[in-house]
Amino acid sequence: MEESNKKAHHTDMYNSPDLILRRGQSFRLTMEFSKPLKDWQSIVFTVQTGPPNAHSHNTYVEFALSNSWSSGMWSAVLESMPGNALRIIMSSPANAVIGRYNLSVSITVMEDTTTFSLGKFTLLFNPWCLDDEVYMANEDERKEYVLNDHGILFMGNEKHISPLGWNFGQFENNILNICMDLLDRSLNYYNDPLADCSQRNSPIYVGRVVSAMINSNDDYGVLEGKWEQDFSDGVDPNSWNGSVEILWSWQRDGYKPVKYGQCWVFAATMCTVLRCLGIPTRVITNFNSAHNTDGNMNVDMHYDTEGKFLEIHDDSIWNFHVWDECWFMRRDIGNFYSGWQVLDSTPQEQSQGVYRCGPTSVTAVREGDVNIDYDAPFVYAEVNADRDTWVVNEDGSKEKVFSDSKYVGKFISTKAVGTDERVDITHTYKYPEGSPQERAVYEKASRIMLFYRPPPERPNVSYNTSTSENRTGNEQPMQPTRPEINPAPSSHNVNTLPSIPERNVLPPMNERNRTPSLPERDSLPRVAGRHATPSLPERSVLPPVSGRHATPSMPERNVLPPVSGRHATPSLPERNVLPPVSGRHATPSLPERNVLPPVARRHATPSLPERNALPPVAGRNPFHPMSGRNVVPPKPERSLLPSMSGRHVLPPATGRNPLPPMSGRNARPSMPERIPQPPVPERNAFRVTPNESDSELPDVTGKFKILSPLVLGEDINLLLVLRNLTPFHRPVKINLSASCTLYTGRRVADIFSDQKSVIISPSQDAHISIQIPYSQYQKCLNNGNMIQVVALCELPFGHKVLVTKDLVLDNPPLQIKALSKAVLHETMTLEIRFKNPLSVPVKDCSLLVEGSGLVDRQLTAVVPFLKPKEKIRFRVEVTPYKAGEKQFIVNFKCKHFSIKGYKLLKVASK
């Protein structure tokens, strides 16, 4: 087959002698014979992929040589017959199965048929083909998201975002073959090879398979995750500079999981695989990323009375989390949701019984349509969950000290097209924080979650223990013993998560506050449009409302008796029935229990006493009469009775002071005298919620100020500033603490604690200086250089203020300088300079060098010893073997730190 095909198909960058094509595009081949071919009756071509002994209409196709094209099908047209040869133009459909193909031809002459093998080729997705589901119109974006073999990841925290160079290397030697092996080693292929291969025409299906195979929790996937500090039996995740060494190691070791990876390693490796297969992909970083396990859109963070973070809940907020976005159509859920799709291979939660996530439409996340495939509730919570902060007292009671709807999902970032700049894409995931649209979408998503059931889990697959040699092509996959599950940490257990088969379904309540039985997922229709409310099942669901104040007709079994008289109120059944509303302000007489009060117009706030207000009481039927347009039902509160929700939210009230009876046209129903109390003592010490002016504000606010640069090896100097907001003196007791943390928020070691007491004058500030010497954090600092400082301030009347600050210490710069020009196939020299940032000597250091198109293998230099503050210089010679812009990556690592840097080189052709 002709080499010109590779260039035409944008596959000439692959370091492979095999023919690599993209679907939906024609290619040329020439068949040469020993003598001119005459009097032939038919020429029939056969393309076959997948298991050799099983065929389907997608994996085995026969098509004859003809004089015209067949649209949407495999076809071949005779171009010319020069001498003893036939020149053929062949094309594949835009929805052809991707994979490794065998091509053969059967020629019939004088009733005699002879079959010849024409060789093998690999077929990929085609972002240049208008009819392909992965089509991307912009050429610069195709170059960035398909052809660029290096990139930038972003790490740190929202106040300290650091770039990290990464070698994707999707065109390097044998990477394409490894990616095809990855598909052939999935659970889907193991269960039914033919069915699996037949579905590889869909980027949705392939994306889900790859998402599961990058981690090793359910199969012998590529990477094993670990979030502890001991990586002695593998590779520290911070030591990886690219995906190539990871994928090579996976194949070299017999397709056993590579140790170890964390979220950015999983995401970057999956980006390599997907770009290699032809799916446009980019790496995304979400700062303050929530991990919400129970589907209630709230993440609870707990601290003890000394200000130390408590790992008593599965919810967590990571400083950052990294996933991928892929570009393709979503015909399965509607073209409105086409475009960028989230895929996450970090093993956090199971999706249909397998550790994977996505594809989730970014548009669906922005619009709050969390009931569509796949895993939308989990992704939505990662960028939109509300954070509630609690202090746990010594007696086990809890006090909510802060509620923040703006903390989660900050500075969602990716690399810019054509440059190494950071692009903020937060607006693609949600409307501006605190805006009416953002809160409306939040309430919409919360409402849908009340009735959402995740798709049924797939049956577990039990592997039989066996061994096999490294295989190529489409041989039978290895059948390893099912590996031990090792998901990403949530909180108290860093390596395991409890199985949550229905994480997005509210748990059943007790008899007094029972919830209705939830409909099956398949009975829920899709939600279309920004404010659409799903049509719900017949028996316990509010039917459509027509007209501005129309009263819905109720389901067949819950019909109300007719109402007579102008202001008559029907006699209501005891439970589960809502009365119709008549008149503009009429309010039905409610039963004693289990019925929600009516909600007024869209932005109305009920006129309630500021404190001791009666919250609505949860019942079996969670619906209530609605008036106005786009009314949002109240958001469920966690571990408490539901409270009214809207733009001005009043804090939940407790006690024995119900609303007094009213009379007249706007009379409210009489309510029970006593309100049920939650099982655990919980009260708001104070609550500061953005855009909620009626919330109770604290007497004192605080913040940390950084007094000197945060540099690894130096002391940390901070200033806690507390401001008295009242006209009275305020005594404050302060518990100070600091801990080394992982980027997942998990506390590794406590490094500092202190107590202070001050009296703050009216409307004045108090300043408390804090110094943390290097000697206190040097032994426990992790590779992310992250420290959290906490001040828990106790005020009069039992109020508490919690002030936190996440610190990231800077590594010293690593300087890279090119001493000669970069020219294809000519040796060049680069100089690397860096300095030991510590005041102590370091031993057993190493320097790692990597870069696709520059060095074909990772280079390593050993540095046995460095004196305190010593400067060192290295010179490295490389010979570029690919032209264009290339990334030279350097990593200097030792036990105490890991310093990374990169430099872009433009390699000129001769």
**Alpha carbon distances (Å) from 172 to 111, 178, 250, 294:** 47, 11, 15, 42
Q: Give the pLDDT of residue 24.
A: 97
Q: What is the three-class DSSP state of 706?
A: strand
Residue 19 belongs to what H/E stretch? strand 19-22
| Range among 294-298, 475-479, 593-597, 792-796 with highest mean pLDDT value | 792-796
9, 302, 321, 624: the catalytic one is 321
pLDDT category at 456 given cuts 50, 70, 90 is low
Asked whether the domain spanning 815-907 has the same topology as the one spanning 145-449, the reply is no
DSSP state letters, 210-238: HHHHHB-SSSS-SEEE--SS--TTS--GG
What is the average pLDDT value for the chain, to the nearest integer?
A: 79
Say if CB 851 and CB 876 are below 8 A apart.
no
Per-residue pLDDT for 671 more than 50?
A: no
β-pairing, 859-866 vs 842-850, is antiparallel
Considering only residues 48 and 472, tell me which one the structure prediction assigns the higher pLDDT: 48
Q: Cα–Cα distance between 389 and 689 in angstroms, integer?
A: 12
Question: What are the tens digits of pLDDT across the range 731-780?
Answer: 999 999 999 999 998 999 999 999 999 999 999 999 999 999 999 998 88
Encoded amino acid at 644, one letter: M
Say if CB 359 and CB 343 are below 8 A apart.
yes
pLDDT category at 895 given cuts 50, 70, 90 is confident
326 as an active site residue: the answer is no
| Range among 145-154, 394-403, 447-456 with highest mean pLDDT value | 145-154
- In eight-state DSSP terms, residue 657 is -
- In eight-state DSSP terms, residue 31 is E
Q: Which residues of 665-691 are buried (b: 16+ CB within 10 A; e: fewer)?
A: eeebbebeeebeeeeeebebbbbbbee
CA angle 439, 441, 445 (to 5 degrees): 115
Question: What are the tens digits of pLDDT across the range 10-19?
Answer: 999 999 999 9
pLDDT category at 454 given cuts 50, 70, 90 is low
Rounded to an integer, the average pLDDT of 459-466 is: 38
Considering only residues 55 and 458, tell me which one the structure prediction assigns the higher pLDDT: 55
Say if CB 240 and CB 231 are below 8 A apart.
no
Question: Where are the domains positioned within the chain?
Answer: 4-124, 145-449, 700-808, 815-907
Rounded to an integer, the average pLDDT of 528-551 is: 40
CATH class of 4-124: mainly beta
- In eight-state DSSP terms, residue 643 is -
291 as an active site residue: the answer is no
Rounded to an integer, the average pLDDT of 99-106 is: 96
Q: Is the peptide bond before 374 cis (omega within 30 degrees of 0)?
A: yes
Instruction: Calculate the CA 229 to chain-centre distance.
Output: 23
Q: Cα–Cα distance between 773 and 752 in angstroms, integer?
A: 9
Q: Cα–Cα distance between 514 and 511 in angstroms, integer?
A: 5
Give the number of other CB atoms < 10 A from CB of residue 831. 13
Say if CB 756 and CB 809 are below 8 A apart.
no
Per-residue pLDDT for 690 more than 80?
A: no
Question: What are the tens digits of pLDDT across the range 187-214?
Answer: 999 999 999 999 999 999 999 999 999 9
In 55-192, which ranges are continuous DSSP H helix? 139-142, 175-184, 187-191
Q: What is the three-class DSSP state of 390?
A: strand
Per-residue pLDDT for 572 more than 60?
A: no
- Which of 135-139, 362-366, 897-901 has the weakest average pLDDT? 897-901
Rounded to an integer, the average pLDDT of 66-72 is: 85
pLDDT category at 532 given cuts 50, 70, 90 is very low
Q: Cα–Cα distance between 487 and 216 in angstroms, integer?
A: 9
Residue with token string 């509303």: 581
Q: Give the pLDDT of residue 541.
A: 38
424 as an active site residue: the answer is no
Name residue 181's beta-bridge partners.
none
Q: Give the pLDDT of residue 487.
A: 62
CA angle 135, 414, 139 (to 5 degrees): 30
Per-residue pLDDT for 540 more than 90?
A: no
Adjacency order of strands within the sheet including 410-415: 357-361, 339-344, 316-328, 281-291, 410-415, 422-424
129, 179, 197, 263: the catalytic one is 263
Contacts of 550 (CB under 8 A, 6+ apart): none
Q: Give the pLDDT of residue 692.
A: 37
Q: Which pTM was predicted?
A: 0.76
Instruction: Calculate the CA 547 to chain-centre distance.
Output: 41
Assign domain 145-449 to its CATH superfamily: Transglutaminase-like (3.90.260.10)
Q: What is the three-class DSSP state of 891?
A: strand
Q: Cα–Cα distance between 140 and 147 in angstroms, integer?
A: 10
Q: Give the pLDDT of residue 697.
A: 65
Residue with token string 């869209």: 602
Residue with token string 């890279």: 816
Question: What are the tens digits of pLDDT across the range 803-839?
Answer: 999 999 999 889 999 999 999 999 999 999 999 989 8
- Among 681, 682, 695, smallest CA distance to 646 is for 695
Rounded to an integer, the average pLDDT of 677-693 is: 37
Per-residue pLDDT for 841 more than 80?
A: yes
pLDDT category at 576 given cuts 50, 70, 90 is very low
Say if CB 907 and CB 822 are below 8 A apart.
yes
Say if CB 384 and CB 406 are below 8 A apart.
no
Per-residue pLDDT for 453 more than 90?
A: no
- Among 788, 779, 769, 789, smallest CA distance to 708 is for 769
DSSP state letters, 404-441: ESSSSSEEEEEEPTTSS-EEE-HHHHSSPTTSHHHHHH
Q: Give the pLDDT of residue 573.
A: 41
- Among 738, 756, 736, 734, smallest CA distance to 748 is for 738
For residue 327, which phi and psi values (nearest 5 degrees)? -105, 115
Q: Cα–Cα distance between 20 and 37 in angstroms, integer?
A: 28
Q: Cα–Cα distance between 252 and 272 in angstroms, integer?
A: 18
For residue 110, which phi and psi values (nearest 5 degrees)? 55, 45
Rounded to an integer, the average pLDDT of 133-154 is: 98
Q: Cα–Cα distance between 846 and 861 in angstroms, integer?
A: 6
Write down the CATH number for the domain with range 700-808: 2.60.40.10
- Which of 136-150, 558-572, 706-720 has the weakest average pLDDT? 558-572
Rounded to an integer, the average pLDDT of 161-188 is: 97
- Among 805, 710, 141, smallest CA distance to 423 is for 141
Say if CB 873 and CB 833 are below 8 A apart.
yes
Name residue 410's beta-bridge partners.
287
Question: What are the tens digits of pLDDT across the range 432-446?
Answer: 998 999 989 999 999
Question: What are the tens digits of pLDDT across the range 227-251?
Answer: 987 898 999 999 999 999 999 999 9
Per-residue pLDDT for 385 more than 80?
A: yes
CA angle 407, 413, 418 (to 5 degrees): 165
219, 344, 388, 806: the catalytic one is 344
Q: Cα–Cα distance between 829 and 541 in angstroms, integer?
A: 72
Burial of 644 (0-12, 13-18, 19+ CB in 10 A): buried
Domain 815-907 has CATH 1.10.287.110: no
Q: Cα–Cα distance between 817 and 341 in angstroms, integer?
A: 38
